[in-house]
Amino acid sequence: MSSRDESVSRRKFLGAAGGAAVTVGLAGCSDNDGEDSDGSDGSDGSDGSNGSDGSDGSDGGDDTSLLRYGRGSHSATLDFQNSTSGEVAKVTEQIYDTLINFEPGESTLTDGLASDYSLDGETASLTLKEGVTFHNGEEFTAQDFEATYRRFVDSEYEYYAGDDYVSAYGPFTLGNWIDEIQVDGDYEMTIQLTQTYAPFLRNLAMFAAAVHSEAAIEEYGTDLSENAVGTGPFELNTLDDSNEQIRLDAYDDYWGDGPQVDEAVFVTVGENSTRAQSLASGELDIIDGLGAQSSQQVESADSAELVRTEGINIGYMAFNIAAVEEFQDRRVRQAVSHAINTEAIVNQIYAGFATEASQPLPPNVLGHNDDIEPYPYDPEQAQSLLEEAGYGDGFSFELATFQNPRGYNPSPLQTAETVASNLGEVGIEVEINQQSFAPFLEYTAQGRHDACFLGWYTDNADPDNFAYVLLHPQVEESELTEGQDWVSFDTEGYNTSNRSAWANQEYMDLVEEGQQTTTESDRAELYNEAMQIAHDEAPWVYLDYAEELRGVANRVNGFQIAAISGPYLNLVSLE
């Protein structure tokens, strides 16, 4: 057995003991005991840590350095092609790499598995790094990316993962834009696009564009959901669904920086306040999914600090226009927007860690229209619009929400109760349907909701990642009905990330033109106009733009909070 095998074996053995300590420490306090009266599960986040015997993260003596990351929800899969969830991404980004990366904490692009890359019109050219190996020992080549792409979007491919398995990311990340991949040897690749598509290189840096091993694709098929094999800084040790923990080992042959810890474990602690208590007591090193009370707990802890930065996200309530007749009248959607006191939600429930939203694009994304104001809280105007639309006596609908805290909605039940109370004042009855996060995502992706809370963390900081991904139906023009601004969820090719079923032709034309426009000022003008339409037509109630918040133990060094990608656990060490 090689020295590397001995090192890994020792690390895994010692890690088992460390994992037991984490489990015992948290087992008695992961129930409903507080904060924001939420439930359990969830969040999107980032970040890491390391240390022990020397900051190189190697096995020194008998100790291993174990980073403990606390979050509100477990990952439903370990395959980035099988999910749209940020909970999945924060783990898979430790195991897998993309061709292009984002600079940690920034929106600028940098090398990933590709050492050189360019986009000229409809042609992307990439030179790949040599000597990179997957965790199964296979060398990374261009053929791996080609196989990864085909597994995601090509139904003719022998190893296509299947319509019921692949996520909505397939088409809008790669499938809609790639016409052909030309592989020239192992390390040169040319991608011909279907059209000029300005954000393409940024799409290659998204978590859903990471690279599988071709050999692993052929060996595991859809069992990659629990047998992750990447080129990333950490490799899978244990997937423990019953205890909602995922343990990773440092990958000794990683091509990039770090990792500087021997192990990392993702621990699920459903309650925000319990997670904050575990950080303060030293049971966890980094936590996310923070609300008002838990953020204050972190700020007051001697052993940790609250780290915050401007986010690139939006929280919203989507109307299912196809399912609810009342929502098919924009005056009703506008009335609901006026009837909900988003200012109170942001200032009182979210405690100032967010600002009111006015449109789909956050303020720090190209194309955000600075001239648009949030819908003012105005019950009288809401009542007037309802009467004008013929619903002065009110109506009822179901509001689906998740139990777990999310950065853009850290207190979903309290927010839902506020919405229900506000709408009750104008005669609209709301039934709250609260679910844990994974079933909630499936429920709403199938269009079974009347309305639902959701939100979006940017994948690439491009306006297309909001405007097209979330509010364009992405169906053939022949599937649209003239004079109707919605489309059914069961329409062939429908983009289920558009939870509102909205299909406004003028908006779609502007967004499509924005994709093919490369001059920044011209793109900004197009998206400004699209944002005005999205505001006026109100397919969503625009709730908030949230800050990114993390609780970080004092012993953590090198932490990088990031609004895009991450957490960058490979860069972090522990004192």
User: Are 286 and 568 within 8 A, CB to CB?
Assistant: no
CA distance 74 to 278: 17
152-201: per-residue pLDDT in tens?
Answer: 999 999 999 999 999 999 999 999 999 999 999 999 999 999 999 999 99
Element (H, E) at 317: strand 313-319
81, 277 Cβ separation under 8 angstroms: no
d(CA 65, CA 67) in angstroms, rounded, equals: 7
Q: Domains of the chain (ranges plus CATH)?
A: 1-95+232-310+549-575 (3.40.190.10), 97-224 (3.90.76.10), 313-546 (3.10.105.10)
Write out pLDDT tens, residues 187-223. 999 999 999 999 999 999 999 999 999 999 999 999 9
Listed in sequence order, the residues at least 6 apart from 559 whose beta carbon sits closer than 8 Å to its beta carbon are: 47, 48, 49, 286, 307, 550, 552, 571, 572
**Contact status, residue 13 vs residue 536, Cβ threshold 8 Å:** no
Query: DSSP 3-state assignment of 198?
Result: coil
User: CA angle, 497 as apex, 495 and 499 as ends, to 5°?
Assistant: 100
Hey, what are 290's tokens?
A: 């923070």
Rounded Cα gap, residues 15 and 249, in angstroms: 9
**Helix pair angle (520-537, 330-339), 10° resolution:** 90
pLDDT of 124: 98
Two structure tokens written together for 554: 């004092």
Question: How far is residue 78 from each of residues 246, 314, 410, measured CA to CA in Å?
Answer: 10, 25, 24
Q: Of 460, 539, 462, give the one whose Cα is nearest residue 499.
A: 539
CA dist 214 to 61, 124, 143, 150, 220, Å? Answer: 37, 22, 7, 10, 10
Return d(Cα 248, Cα 235) in angstroms, integer: 5
End-to-end CA distance of the chain: 32
CB 465 within 8 A of CB 199: yes
Q: Which amino acid is at 369?
A: N
Q: Which residues of the chain have pLDDT under 70?
A: 1-63
Asked if 572 and 57 count as a contact pair (C-beta separation under 8 A), the reply is no
The DSSP letter of residue 325 is G
User: What is the three-class DSSP state of 240?
Assistant: strand
Helix axes 330-339, 412-424, angle to 10 degrees: 110
pTM of the model: 0.81
CA–CA gap between residue 47 and residue 56 (Å, rounded): 18
* pLDDT recorded at residue 563: 87
Q: Decide if 265 contacts 22 (C-beta within 8 A).
A: yes
Residue for token digits 């040319």?
190
Asked if residue 42 lies in contact with residue 434, where contact means CB atoms within 8 angstroms, the answer is: no
Q: Looking at residue 505, what is its pLDDT?
A: 97
Contact 114, 132 (CB under 8 A): no
Pair of tokens at residue 354: 């967010």
342 closest CA partner among 177, 545, 162: 545
Residue 148 DSSP SS3:
helix
Q: List, in sequence order, the alpha helices (H) in 349-460.
A: 379-389, 412-424, 437-445
The answer to whether residues 41 and 270 touch, using CB atoms and an 8 Å cutoff, is yes
Residues 6+ away with beta carbon under 8 Å from 172 = 468, 469, 474, 495, 497
pLDDT of amino acid 63: 55
Q: What are phi and psi of 432, to 5 degrees?
A: -90, 130
Count CA within 13 A, CB hemisphere, residue 18. 26
d(CA 264, CA 69): 7
Q: Extract the tokens encoding 371.
A: 């001239």
User: How far apart are the C-alpha atoms of 291 and 272, rounded to whole Å?
Assistant: 7
Q: CB within 8 A of 387, min separation 6: which ones?
A: none
The residue type found at 542 is Y
Alpha carbon distance 326, 304 (integer Å): 49
- With tokens 């009335």, the residue in question is 335
Q: Does 199 sit behind a cis peptide bond, omega within 30 degrees of 0 on the bond before it?
A: no
